[in-house]
A = this chain, B = another copy of it.
Amino acid sequence: MRALVWDGSQARVVPDAPQPGLLPGTALVRVRLAGICSTDLQILAGYMGFRGILGHEFVGEVVEGPNELRGRRVVGEINFACRRCPTCASGRTRHCPTRTVLGILGADGAFAEFVRLPVVNLHRVPDRVGDQQAVFVEPLAAAFQGAEQTASLQGGRSAVIGAGKLGLLIAQVLATRGDHVVLVCRGQASLERLEARLETVMRRLDIERSSVASVGRGFDLVVEATGDQAGLALAVELVKPQGAILLKSTVAGQHTLDLAPLVINEVRVIGSRCGAFAPAIQALAEETISVSPLIDAELPLSDGIEALRRAGAPGALKLLLEPSA
């Protein structure tokens, strides 16, 4: 099958990757659409030391698996847990210490014609949610997770640093729950692009936009969604004493940071990764969150390398890959 493979030094689209083999408790999914995430680009920079087929955001249809799923459109939670250890028994399966993670850790991903996942990881997609919406379930679930981890700050002043695809999802989720949200852009160009593309969404949700230079201070919550090292230092500047920073970026390599302000100002830094899919599917079905304006382009998987390049360009939003094309 066609697949986009990372071998540790080069990403290539190959025509002849082996189709995933049969495994009990799993389903084989024909990928209809997959999304490129910043984590994919981080992997190309060395993050997680992953080798194999990239991709963890997808929507597809089950071609082999339980009767009730066969032929259905599904999305898939990306952490494959053992479901036997104490961590799994406590319900925290996303943190299973022996987990594999789709396209990130020890499990081939979804930038391919077919992908195999445990049946328990699959969620049916309602008919009224199109493929171009459903492909956002995974990152939107991560955005909802951030909101859940900061539930005590609901209704406060929140700044989201980084107007990328994840930042734009989180800003919407926080605005929807009643926060006063300021989206902080780190360049005038990206601020203008954003206005042009997302004005309707921003206006509907009353999300303010600001440059770094003109943004205020003293936010109850600052979401660090920049995808780079500078984000956390800025977050520390913007957050109020005893406020919280939600840390979303997983950046390959070491950060250098003065931690004293965190202690002096008694700030909480909350790491946040993946979330449950149900609230994300519901939000897309009810159209409370807009994802279509985040799509830059949809390319055939055969143009996957070009798509990765475009996804890494400054100001890029979501690039989608169509494996059957």
Q: Which residues of A contact B (CB under 8 A)?
A: 47, 87, 92, 95, 149, 232, 240-242, 247-273
Report B-chain residues with C-beta under 8 Å of the C-beta of A87: 240-241
Contact A263/B241 with A255-B258, A256-B256, A271-B268 known, Cβ cut-off 8 Å: no
Cβ of B273 and Cβ of A266 under 8 Å apart?
yes
Report B-chain residues with C-beta under 8 Å of the C-beta of A267: 271
Give min CB distance, A78 to chain B, whole Å. Answer: 12
Give min CB distance, A94 to chain B, whole Å. Answer: 8
Report B-chain residues with C-beta under 8 Å of the C-beta of A242: 92, 95
3 residue pairs, one from A and one from B, having the closest CB atoms: A95-B241, A262-B271, A269-B269
Give the contacting residue for A253; candidates B255, B258, B263, B268; CB below 8 A: B258
Q: How many copies of this chain sit in the oligomeric assembly?
A: 2
Complex alpha-carbon distance, A87 and B265, angstroms: 12
Complex alpha-carbon distance, A269 and B261, angstroms: 13
Give min CB distance, A147 to chain B, whole Å. Answer: 13
Most chain B CB within a 10 A radius of its CB, from A241, A260, A262? A260
Cβ of B252 and Cβ of A95 under 8 Å apart?
no
A-B contact pairs, 27 of them (CB 8 A): A87-B240, A92-B242, A95-B241, A95-B242, A149-B266, A232-B259, A247-B259, A248-B263, A249-B263, A250-B259, A250-B260, A250-B263, A251-B259, A252-B260, A254-B256, A254-B258, A255-B257, A262-B269, A263-B273, A264-B271, A265-B271, A266-B270, A266-B271, A266-B273, A267-B271, A268-B268, A269-B269
Report B-chain residues with C-beta under 8 Å of the C-beta of A149: 266
Report B-chain residues with C-beta under 8 Å of the C-beta of A260: 47, 250-252
Complex alpha-carbon distance, A267 and B266, angstroms: 16
Complex alpha-carbon distance, A71 and B261, angstroms: 38
Give min CB distance, A4 to chain B, whole Å. Answer: 23
Contact A255/B256 with A263-B247, A263-B271 known, Cβ cut-off 8 Å: yes
Residue of B nearest to A232 (CB): B259
Report B-chain residues with C-beta under 8 Å of the C-beta of A253: 258
Residue of B nearest to A101 (CB): B264
Complex alpha-carbon distance, A273 and B261, angstroms: 10
Complex alpha-carbon distance, A82 and B92, angstroms: 45
Report B-chain residues with C-beta under 8 Å of the C-beta of A270: 266, 268-269
Residue of B nearest to A86 (CB): B218
Give the contacting residue for A259; candidates B255, B262, B265, B266; CB below 8 A: B255
Give min CB distance, A282 to chain B, whole Å. Answer: 22
